[in-house]
Amino acid sequence: MSKRLPNIEYSNWIKSLKIKIQKAQNKVTFSINSQLLELYWELGRELALRQKTTNWGSNYMDLTAK
Protein backbone atom coordinates (compact mmCIF):
# COMPACT_ATOMS: atom_id res chain seq x y z
CA MET A 1 0.00 0.00 0.00
CA SER A 2 1.21 3.49 -0.79
CA LYS A 3 1.29 6.15 1.86
CA ARG A 4 -0.69 9.28 0.99
CA LEU A 5 0.50 12.64 2.22
CA PRO A 6 -1.99 14.76 4.12
CA ASN A 7 -3.16 17.81 2.16
CA ILE A 8 -1.37 20.28 4.45
CA GLU A 9 1.92 18.40 4.24
CA TYR A 10 1.64 18.18 0.45
CA SER A 11 0.77 21.87 0.21
CA ASN A 12 3.76 22.84 2.36
CA TRP A 13 6.04 20.64 0.26
CA ILE A 14 4.84 22.29 -2.97
CA LYS A 15 5.35 25.74 -1.41
CA SER A 16 8.91 24.85 -0.41
CA LEU A 17 9.64 23.60 -3.93
CA LYS A 18 8.30 26.85 -5.40
CA ILE A 19 10.49 28.88 -3.03
CA LYS A 20 13.57 26.86 -4.04
CA ILE A 21 12.81 27.38 -7.73
CA GLN A 22 12.24 31.10 -7.22
CA LYS A 23 15.53 31.47 -5.30
CA ALA A 24 17.40 29.68 -8.08
CA GLN A 25 15.76 31.91 -10.70
CA ASN A 26 16.74 35.01 -8.72
CA LYS A 27 20.36 33.82 -8.52
CA VAL A 28 20.43 33.28 -12.28
CA THR A 29 18.90 36.70 -12.94
CA PHE A 30 21.43 38.40 -10.65
CA SER A 31 24.31 36.55 -12.29
CA ILE A 32 23.18 37.47 -15.81
CA ASN A 33 22.67 41.12 -14.83
CA SER A 34 26.13 41.24 -13.26
CA GLN A 35 27.72 39.77 -16.38
CA LEU A 36 25.91 42.21 -18.65
CA LEU A 37 26.88 45.15 -16.49
CA GLU A 38 30.52 44.05 -16.60
CA LEU A 39 30.34 43.67 -20.39
CA TYR A 40 28.79 47.12 -20.90
CA TRP A 41 31.36 48.72 -18.59
CA GLU A 42 34.22 47.11 -20.52
CA LEU A 43 32.72 48.12 -23.88
CA GLY A 44 32.37 51.72 -22.69
CA ARG A 45 35.96 51.72 -21.41
CA GLU A 46 37.28 50.34 -24.70
CA LEU A 47 35.26 52.82 -26.76
CA ALA A 48 36.47 55.73 -24.63
CA LEU A 49 40.08 54.55 -24.93
CA ARG A 50 39.74 54.11 -28.69
CA GLN A 51 38.23 57.59 -28.93
CA LYS A 52 41.28 59.06 -27.17
CA THR A 53 43.83 57.18 -29.28
CA THR A 54 42.29 57.43 -32.77
CA ASN A 55 42.82 60.24 -35.19
CA TRP A 56 40.05 62.76 -35.68
CA GLY A 57 37.91 61.86 -38.69
CA SER A 58 38.74 58.15 -38.67
CA ASN A 59 35.01 57.36 -38.33
CA TYR A 60 35.72 54.43 -36.04
CA MET A 61 32.53 55.12 -34.08
CA ASP A 62 30.40 55.02 -37.24
CA LEU A 63 32.10 51.81 -38.35
CA THR A 64 31.68 50.27 -34.88
CA ALA A 65 27.98 51.16 -34.79
CA LYS A 66 27.29 49.26 -38.01
pLDDT in tens, 36-53: 999 999 999 988 888 888
Average pLDDT value over all residues in the chain:
86
Q: What pTM was estimated for this model as a whole?
A: 0.57
Residue predicted with more confidence, 53 or 33:
33
Nearest-angstrom CA–CA distance, 15 and 18: 5
Q: Mark out the alpha helices in 1-66 (DSSP H runs).
A: 7-53, 60-65
Nearest-angstrom CA–CA distance, 5 and 13: 10
**pLDDT for residue 5 is more than 70:** no
Nearest-angstrom CA–CA distance, 42 and 53: 16
What pLDDT was estimated at residue 63?
75
Residue predicted with more confidence, 35 or 58:
35
